[in-house]
Amino acid sequence: MTAAPIETDVAIIGAGPIGLFAVFELGLLDLKCHLVDILDRPGGQCTELYPEKPIYDIPALPIVTGQQLVNQLMEQIKPFNPQFHFSEMATSLEKLADGRWKLKTDAGTEITAHVVVIAAGAGSFQPKRPPVPGIEHFENAGDGIGVHYAVRKMETFRGKDILIAGGGDSALDWVINLAPLAKSLTLVHHRDGFRAAQHSVNQMRELEKEGKVKFHVASVKAVHGEPGKLSGVTLTGADKSEWRHEADAFLPFFGLTIKLGPIAEFGINLHENLIPVDTARFESQAPGIFAIGDINTYTGKLKLILSGFHEAALMSQAAFHIARPNEKLRFQYTTSSSNLQKKLGVS
Amino acid sequence: MKIIATDRQGKVHQLEGREHWSVMEILRDAGLDVAAECGGACACGTCHVYVTDGWYDKLPEPSESEIDMLDMALAVQPGTSRLSCQITCSTETDGIKVTVAPE
């Protein structure tokens, strides 16, 4: 499914704190932004890894949690009405004849922009894949069978022998939700204790008592079957004993990890998975493609949120000249410019 | 103080620990391919190591939050698995043996 192509000034890959602040700096210069992020909400690592953890080194904020910082940034950029494309992965970047760039996503979104800003942190969040040899041959095997890292349609798992691994909220939630439709449901975890919310654990224990769920302190050591058709796994127990367990579907839930992802195939020069940029414009070696935040590298680079904010401001000045080649950039302060205050909706 | 670390390729490295630094920082700075995505906040589970040769029992017990976070790590082996960002280098850890867990 391909939606109508989008035309805008700037396409930003990554809606973490730096991508969000870039919207502000670009917005002051009247540049409109579309943002693409593989996560289903803004904030990147701040909200995915440490929403509740305090950050102490944001200038003028003695203490702020990851979630609070992102909430504040979302409020700050609201006047500029950025358009978000969540749960989409930026998959390709193509230079058009008129000098603009076309960014495509795995959901079929196409964004044509004068400037592309890569603010992708360490890359894209992807499900952790258990280090079981050959597991990849059973991924994307079809509805309700093989290895799945997410449940899209519960109904596809009806009547199946399901094995779930993990001890967090996702693992327990899916045990509870899939048990009523499964032919059998087995949960394995490396300990007889769970990180998941207590009420979920209680519900799981209840299902176990009723015989609707089997739980083993064990881990998956091997997967079996023809490629594309899982037949079962080998489990290893706490006492190192091993046994075979039949399953149509294996659902590992160990959260997300960061992989560079398709950025590696954009044709941009990379150095150890980072994008080298100059420190005046924060532009990659491809004119019109900028990189800010943790994804870039230059002499003296520090992976700090505050460095990314600075990079966003300088990048925006350079981006303006590309997007508005015939206009003069007027540098103004938000404290004194009624023009900027109007854009911010405060005067 | 030494850290004897085995990387994912099975190569053994003798590393110099630094007082009050975490084992994760030493492994990462030595280029042992420890992702440590959250930077040492006990929030991601990607600095997972196996503490071997009797060293596990010599360390202070893991905190509740580390035990919780290990639920999101891969290939956990009870009795050896720890998050290396939660192990602090000291004279008590001199000679500690760790193996970087698979990813």
Residue A200, domain member (yes or no) = yes
> Distance (Å) from the C-alpha of residue B19 to the closest C-alpha of chain A?
23
Task: Provide the residue range defining the domain that includes A244.
Answer: 129-254
The tens-digit pLDDT sequence of chain A (347 residues) is 556 789 999 999 999 999 999 999 999 999 999 999 999 999 999 999 999 999 999 999 999 999 999 999 999 999 999 999 999 999 999 999 999 999 999 999 999 999 999 999 999 999 999 999 999 999 989 999 999 999 989 999 999 999 999 999 999 999 999 999 999 999 999 999 999 999 999 999 999 999 999 999 999 999 999 988 999 999 999 999 999 999 999 999 999 999 999 999 999 999 989 999 999 999 999 999 999 999 999 999 999 999 999 999 999 999 999 999 999 999 999 999 999 999 999 98
Amino acid A5: pLDDT = 87
The answer to whether residue A1 is domain-embedded is no
pTM across the whole model:
0.89
Residue A145 lies in a domain: yes
**Reduced 3-state DSSP string for A270-296:** CECCEEECCCCCCECCCCCEEECHHHE
Under an 8 A CB cutoff, do A257 and B35 touch?
yes
Looking at the fold, whether A250 and A269 belong to one and the same domain comes out as no
Number of structural domains, chain A? 2
Tell me, yes or no, whether A100 and A143 share the same domain. Answer: no
Alpha helices in A179-225 (DSSP H): 198-209
How big is the CA angle at A104 (ends A306 and A280), to the nearest 5 degrees?
35
Rounded to two decimals, the ipTM of the complex is 0.91
Is CATH 3.10.20.30 correct for B2-100? Answer: yes
Residues A189 and A281 in one domain: no
Same-domain pairing of A234 and A264: no
**Quick one: A12 and A109 in the same domain?**
yes
Q: How many other β-carbons are positioned within 10 Å of the β-carbon of residue A141?
A: 19
Share of chain B above pLDDT 90, in %: 98
- Name the DSSP letter for residue B22: B
Q: Is residue A205 part of a domain?
A: yes
Sign of the four-CA dihedral A308, A314, A316, A319? negative
Distance CA A210, CA A226 (A): 33
Indicate the residue among A254, A286, A314 that finishes a domain.
A254
Residue from B34, B71, B100 to probe the interface with A (highest A Cβ count within 10 Å): B71
Predicted pLDDT of residue A252: 98
Given a contact cutoff of 8 angstroms between Cβ atoms, the answer to whether A313 and A280 are in contact is: no
Geometric angle at alpha carbon A100, from A99 and A101, rounded to 5°: 125
In this structure, are A294 and A245 located in the same domain? no
A115 and A37 both lie in a single domain: yes
Judged by a CB distance cut-off of 8 A, whether residue B12 touches chain A is no
Handedness of CA A255, B101, A51, A294 (dihedral sign): negative
Choosing from A254, A272, A306, the residue where a domain stops is A254
Q: Which of A188, A222, A254 is the last residue of a domain?
A: A254
Q: Is B63 helix (H, G, I), strand (E, B) or coil?
A: coil
Is B43 near chain A, with CB under 8 Å?
A: yes
- Alpha-carbon distance of B98 to B12, in angstroms, equals 10
CB B39 within 8 A of CB B59: no
Residues A244 and A265 in one domain: no
Residues A97 and A239 in one domain: no
**A72 and A120 share a domain?**
yes
Tens of pLDDT, residues B32-78: 989 999 999 999 999 999 999 999 999 999 999 999 999 999 999 99
